Amino acid sequence: MTEATPSRPTPRAGIMEIEAYVPGKSAAASGVSKIHKLSSNENPLGASPKVIEAVRDVAGRLEFYPDGSATRLREAIAEAHGLNPANIVCSNGSDEILGLLAQAYLSPGDEAIFTEHGFLVYKIYIQAAGATPVSVREKGERADVDAILAAVTPKTKIVFLANPNNPTGTYLPFEEVRRLHAGLPGNVLLVLDAAYAEYVRRNDYEAGVELVAGSQNAVMTRTFSKIHGLGGLRIGWMYAPSHIVDVINRMRGPFNVNAGAIEAGIAAMRDRGHVDRTIEHNERWLRWLTEEMTKLGLRVTPSVGNFILVHFPDGEAHSAAKADDYLAARGYILRRVSGYGFPNALRMTVGTEEANRGVIAALTEFLKS
C-alpha cells in the first residue's frame, strides 16, 4: 500500500514532539524602574572593556567574511588552556556544537542519555536527530554514575553530562566522571558540557581535558556566554579527539563563528584579570546568597556555579510561582524551572551586589506576606 502524499512539507519523525526551549525572561512588569535580569546566568560584571574595544574595531570592516576556521581564536583558546589548537572547534555558542554532535552521531532508533535535572537543550537535539531521549534519575540532585551506566543499552550512542549541571549547580568529582567514562563502551560518546567550569573552586573537579586527551570517545564543550559575559555574541568551543574534530568540521556551517565573535573571543581569552574579578565576585556573592536564603528558611541546592537553585515551602502561600511574580513585580527576573523537574523552585543567577541584596530584601517581605 502506498501512503498518501502529504499536501505540504512534513518534518522528519520526532521533530513535532520537541518542546521548544524557553529562554529565561528578560522583561518585567511595567512601571518597574530598574530591571535586574537574573534568569540566564549572565555575568553581572558584563564583558571585559578590552572585548568591547575589540568588537568596536570589527565594526569598521563588516563587509569581510570571517576566517572560516577561526584559527586565531582557536590559538588563543589553546594558549590559555594549554591545548593543541588542532583539537579545538569553535561554534556559534556551545549549543551549536551540542546539536552538531547529536546530528553526527545519532540516527533514528539510537538512544542518547541525559540526567533527570540535566540541561534541557540535550533532549531537544536528541529528538531533532530523530533519536530517543533517555532521562536517567539523579541522586540528591546530582548525576548518578551507576544509574547512567545501568541505562546504557546497545542502542546508546551519546551520554550528555553537564558538569557542573544547570539548573542544580551540583557537580561530579573527576573520579566519578572517570568511572563513568571507564564504564561506557568505546562506541558511546561522552559529552562533558563544562559551561560553568571556570567558576568551580573544588580540588576534585576537572572539566574534562584529561579524559579527552587520553581517549577516543570523550569531548568537552565550553562557552564564552557565562564567565566571559558574551552570551549575546554566541561563542562556544569543543575540545575533542582528531577524528571527532574532522567529523564536526565537515558538517558545520563554513563561517559558523562571526567576525565579531572571533575578535571578542581572542580579547576575552587574553584578559585573565576580568575572569579573576568575575570569579572573586561570584565566590563572595554565591556564599552570601546561599547563607541569606538559608536564614530565610529556603533550601538552596549547594552550587559551584554562578547561580543557585532555591526551593520554596510546600503549600500555596509561598510557592515558587508566587515568589517569581512577587520578585518580577519589583524588577527581579528569576528563572522558573518546572521544565527541569523542579515545580517549586527558582533559579537565581548571582547578580550585582545591588541585585543580590534587593532579592533577599524582597524575599524577606514576601515570606512575611
Binding site for ligand PLP (CB under 6 A): 41, 93-95, 119, 162, 166, 193, 195, 223, 225-226, 231, 236
**How many other β-carbons are positioned within 10 Å of the β-carbon of residue 65?**
9
Longest dimension (CA), the chain: 68
Which of 167, 241 has the CB closer to ligand PLP?
Answer: 167
Distance CA(216)–CA(206), nearest Å, equals: 18
Which of 95, 144 has the CB closer to ligand PLP?
Answer: 95
C-alpha torsion sign, points 218, 99, 136, 173: positive
The least CB distance from residue 113 to ligand PLP, in Å, is 15
Closest-CB residue for ligand PLP? 93
CB neighbour burial string for 134-169, b if at least 16 within 10 angstroms, e if fewer: bebebeebbbbbeebbebbeeebbbbbbbbbbbbbb
Beta bridge partners of 223: 236
H-helix segments, 221-258: 242-251
Rg (CA), the chain: 21
Distance CA(195)–CA(199), nearest Å, equals: 9
The least CB distance from residue 62 to ligand PLP, in Å, is 22
The least CB distance from residue 261 to ligand PLP, in Å, is 11
The least CB distance from residue 115 to ligand PLP, in Å, is 11
Residue labelled with grid coordinates 550528555 = 160
Which of 43, 225 has the CB closer to ligand PLP?
Answer: 225
Which of 43, 223 has the CB closer to ligand PLP?
Answer: 223
Which of 252, 318 has the CB closer to ligand PLP?
Answer: 252
Cα 43-161-306 angle, rounded to 5 deg: 20
Which of 223, 301 has the CB closer to ligand PLP?
Answer: 223
> Regarding beta strands 342-349 and 335-337, do their DSSP bridges make them parallel or antiparallel, or are they unpaired?
antiparallel
Which of 257, 300 has the CB closer to ligand PLP?
Answer: 257
The least CB distance from residue 257 to ligand PLP, in Å, is 12
The least CB distance from residue 195 to ligand PLP, in Å, is 4
Reference 309, options 202, 171, 170; nearest CA is: 170
Which of 231, 302 has the CB closer to ligand PLP?
Answer: 231
The least CB distance from residue 162 to ligand PLP, in Å, is 4
The least CB distance from residue 322 to ligand PLP, in Å, is 26
Under DSSP, the state recorded for 294 is H
The least CB distance from residue 105 to ligand PLP, in Å, is 18
DSSP string, 79-100: HHHT--GGGEEEESHHHHHHHH
Which of 87, 225 has the CB closer to ligand PLP?
Answer: 225
Assess contact for 108 and 14: CB atoms under 8 A.
yes
Distance CA(87)–CA(110), nearest Å, equals: 26
Reference 258, options 7, 70, 15, 37; nearest CA is: 70
Assess contact for 304 and 200: CB atoms under 8 A.
yes
